[in-house]
Structure 1
Amino acid sequence: MRLSRIASAVTAAAIAPAVLLASPAFANPGDGGAASNPSAPTTPDRSPADDDAQAEEDRAAVLRIIAAAKPGSTVAERGSAAIDAGPAAMREFLKTGQHVARDQDNRVLIAQIISVGGVSLAEAGREALKGTPEDRAEFLETGQHIARDIDNKVRVAQIHSSGGPGVQEAAEVALKGTPEDRVRFLETGQHIARDQDNQVLVARIGEAGGPAVRKAADAAMHGSAQDRAEFLETGQHIARDEDNQVLISHIISRGGHHVKEAGKAALKGTPEDRAEFLEKGRHEARALNEKAAEEDGGGNDGTGDGTEPAAGSGKADTATANATTGDQNLSATGSSRTLATTGTDSDVALAVGGASAALAAGAGLLLAARRRRTGAEG
């Protein structure tokens, strides 16, 4: 009996492994059975060499960003700080820090642009500052150029409205052209066209003026654009006053008592006093002389001023008027205020008084002046 029990135990022990292996608990998952408690996948361990290689790559990337940034910018400063702080700081800078820093730099740049820009540029810049980082990047990339051209169109139109024929023609071409055409007009084109108009003015004033005015106008015509601008701004008036002083001295030398006294007072006064004497004062003084002569019983004490027939008699009055006033209303040179730039962007005085009418009347003189210069140069 004891032997049979031992045999049964041995038999059970022999077949137990086979039964267990055939049971579902030990089935192969690939054969459709469910795996029990599968182990989680493990992350491969990074070696120190891998970490060093990543840090070097990050360092190189940060250095490239710094090199492309403006010196002293927030991007450059924070990039340098990240390199000094180590691998983790460099990784953080590359992920988010560079974008935050770049947007701060964009804000500063936009503020600088709108501080010197026109109305449209300033308005577009303020909207970008209120918007997103993408709005600011878009403004710097394209928006500022569109807004600046709108401002340039306004400036060109303003110059056109107050310029002479040459300036107006050049401005119209610029307004019909490209943004680059408008920039060129504002930087150089308007000044070239204005000098052409000034040449017409100088020639007209010289032909209508006295000896000193003609001499100064001739020197300006043979000089530079600045010479012509200075002649129109101040030189013509100085030269005209010289002619007026000569004429007054001549009138005094042959005039009656009241004419002499009024003429001497004018010579001691201002250019305006001398112009006023030639326009009105001499006639009033002559009238006093005539009145005194009548009271003296028809004496010959100044029935005129001794240099010309009485007022209104023709030739002498015309010569005096030219010497006195010339084309005084043609006294400006170009633009009265800066409308730029561009830059860039300088002030050129605008024509005032009757300059527009004078330009219209004397536009044909420009061709003649050019021909004269061409002949002189030849």
Structure 2
Amino acid sequence: MSAVVAAAVLAPAVLFPSTASASDAPKPIGLSGPDTGSDSAKDTAPEDGTPGAGSGQEQRDRAEVQRILADPASGFGVREAAEKALKGGAAELRHFLEVELAEQRQIDDQVKVSQIYAVGGPAVQKAARAALRGTHQDILDFLKTGQYVARAEDEDRAKVEALLADPKTGRGVREGAEKALKGGAAELRHFLTAELPRLRADDNRVKLSQLMSQGGTAVREAAGKALDAGTDEAVEAFLNEGFAKAQFEDDRVEVLRIIADKETGPATAAAAQKAMDGNAEAVRRFLTVELPVLRESDNRVKVSQIIETGGPAVKKAALAAFEGSYADILAFLKDGWAKARAEDEAATTKPGNGAGTGMGTGTGTGNGTGTGTDGSGQQPQTVQPAGLTQTTTGGGTTGTGGTTGTTTGTRTGTGTTGSTGSGTLAATGSDGLGWEAGGAAAALAAGAAMVVAARRRSTKS
């Protein structure tokens, strides 16, 4: 440790050579010259050479050295030299007070400046370097006043830099701060005390106007009241407290709207209801963080339901969207779904020729059966009793059944012109289908197909 201390003491003297001398340093307080009184016997050391009680001057010197040693302002070098002097006699004490004290004080002061330099800001370091390169008086001036002036400049600079680092700082304050940093202590102080309040008030009004234009009903009303008040304090109060309260009200209204929207998916609706039971932070998090993710999940589920219930064109378009990006999902739900449904509807519509015949035999009471061929294919028909009309399912025409009587005969009927259409229209998607009905629609379509197949088998038999 002695080596480290010695290096710290000697480094400033080597790095920053001073032209000061011992004569530049002030004399220690209480230091007096040799006692030239007539009591010569008291000023003479014992003949054996050992320190004795000493003279009055020696006692005064010893007391002065002890006082210097007890002073908390004394540096390491002064203390070390003082302790060494106290172990000696009158000559050592006198040499310390007249020669070593000034030298050690200069070294200690240089060490203090070096220590301040090591932890100081830009202004402090600049002033410390100038002092170390100057005289001992320059060092004393730095320790007494210069370091505090430089420290104030560094503190002002730090405040201005903090304003620039704050993302909430407005444009006007930011421009003023950048300009102040290019100057010195006077420019920094002027900016903080004179320019900053005015620039901040202007920025606050700009920010209020932006929030007012983007906010909901509650935000606009609260912002309008702050502007009507006409004071900087009212505007600042709105930004610090009023805006958060008003935004919470608007956020809750928005969440309720999402819950009530029939297009809202189940996952989104559940999370929205949970957010309504929370605080302002929970509601804002739902709207800004959770909602986009939940909507994407629900939309993907919706497309998967459409794939299950849609026609050929709808299935193809829905699969392509599902395997693509979320942007493809949104594009399909917005436009692609409707276009694919139109394609399926066009593909399942066929024209009939309106011609049909019916063959039947009647016996006994005249009940007869017959087979008919419609205008679009070989779809079997059942002829009802005489006088009744049977409509084909394939766009064909109607035919009349056999006559009443006991004889057997045939009767051919010619139908009227049929309308367009053939067979059962293919499914084209769950247009207007609710989120919870997607599976039910698929089951219903399957059931209808089974009924048709059963009827066909019965007719053939």
Which residue of 318, 327, 332 corresponds with 1:231? 332
Distance 2:281 2:421 in 1: 60
What's the CA shift for 1:51?
A: 9.8
Counterpart position of 1:187: 288
Cα distance 1:222–1:300, how it changes in 2: closer, same or farther (>3 A)?
A: farther
Measured in 2, the distance between the counterparts of 1:222 and 1:97 equals 58
| 2:310 corresponding residue in structure 1 | 209
Q: CA deviation at 1:214?
A: 2.8
What are the within-5 Å matches in structure 2 for residues 283-362 of structure 1?
Answer: 300=414, 304=418, 308=422, 316=423, 319-320=424-425, 322-323=426-427, 326-329=429-432, 355=433, 358-362=434-438
- Alignment of 1:166 with 2:267, yes or no, is yes
For residues 195 and 75 of structure 1, the distance between their equivalents in structure 2, rounded to whole angstroms, comes to 41
Letter paired with 1:155: E
Deviation at 1:173, TM superposition (A): 1.1
| 1:1-378 alignment runs, 5 A limit | 59-70=153-164, 73-75=171-173, 94-129=192-227, 130=229, 132-162=231-261, 163-248=264-349, 251-252=350-351, 254-256=352-354, 300=414, 304=418, 308=422, 316=423, 319-320=424-425, 322-323=426-427, 326-329=429-432, 355=433, 358-362=434-438
The DSSP-based 3-state class of the residue aligned with 2:348 is helix
Q: What do the CA deviations read for 1:144-166 (whole angstroms, capped 9, x no partner)?
A: 22322222111111111102333
Distance in 2 between residues matched to 1:72 and 1:232, nearest whole Å: 41
**What is the TM-score normalised by the length of structure 2?**
0.42
Q: Structure 1: which amino acid aligns with 2:303?
A: V
Higher relative contact order (CA 8 A, sep 6+): 1
Q: Distance in 2 between matches of 1:110 and 1:193?
A: 31
Letter in 1 for 2:253: V
Q: Secondary structure at the match of 1:69?
A: helix
Question: Residues 225-277 of structure 1, C-alpha deviation per residue, up to 9 Å, x if partnerless?
Answer: 433333332222222222223222xx23x5338xxxxxxxxxxxxxxxxxxxx
Quick one: distance in 1 between partners of 2:179 and 2:417?
A: 96
Equivalent-residue separation in structure 1 for 2:282 and 2:331 (angstroms): 28
- Shift of residue 172, structure 1, vs aligned partner: 0.3
Distance in 1, Cα, partners of 2:297 & 2:170:
47
- Hey, what's the Cα distance between the residues in 1 that align with 2:201 and 2:297? 48
- Structure 2 unaligned regions, length at least 5: 1-140, 356-391, 400-410, 442-461
Distance in 2 of aligned mates of 1:65 and 1:144: 26
Cα distance in 1 for partners of 2:185, 2:330 equals 65
Cα separation, partners in 2 of 1:54 and 1:97, compared to 1, 3 Å = farther
Give the residue type in structure 1 aligned to 2:431.
Answer: Q
Distance 1:236 1:67, change over 3 A: same
1:122 Cα offset (Å): 2.6
Q: Is the 8 A contact 1:73 1:105 kept in 2?
A: yes
Q: Which runs of 5+ in 1 are unaligned?
A: 1-47, 258-282, 292-296, 309-315, 330-354, 366-378
What do the CA deviations read for 1:278-299 (whole angstroms, capped 9, x no partner)?
A: xxxxx9x969x779xxxxx976
Higher percent of residues as helix: 1
State the Cα distance separating 1:117 from its structure 2 match. Answer: 2.0
Q: Supply the distance in 2 between the matched residues of 1:203 and 1:147 (Cα, whole angstroms).
A: 40
CA–CA separation in structure 1 for the residues paired with 2:295 and 2:178? 52
Change (3 A) 1:176 1:120: same
TM-score by length of 1: 0.50
Alignment coverage as a number of residue pairs: 246
Q: Is the 8 A contact 1:166 1:197 kept in 2?
A: yes
The amino acid across from 2:241 in the alignment is T
How has the CA–CA distance of structure 1 residues 307 and 91 changed in structure 2, closer, same or farther, with 3 Å as cutoff? closer
Distance 1:172 1:92, change over 3 A: same
| 8 Å contact from structure 1 (residues 256, 286) kept in 2 | yes
Q: Is the 8 A contact 2:306 2:438 kept in 1?
A: no
CA contact (8 A) 1:286 1:304 kept: yes
Alpha-carbon distance between aligned partners in 1 of 2:186 and 2:294, rounded to the nearest angstrom: 62
Contact 2:156 2:189 in 1 (8 A): no
Residues 328, 94 of structure 1: alpha-carbon distance in 2 compared, 3 angstrom cutoff? closer
| Structure with the greater alpha carbon radius of gyration | 2
The alignment-based identity, stated in percent, is 33
CA contact (8 A) 2:430 2:438 kept: no
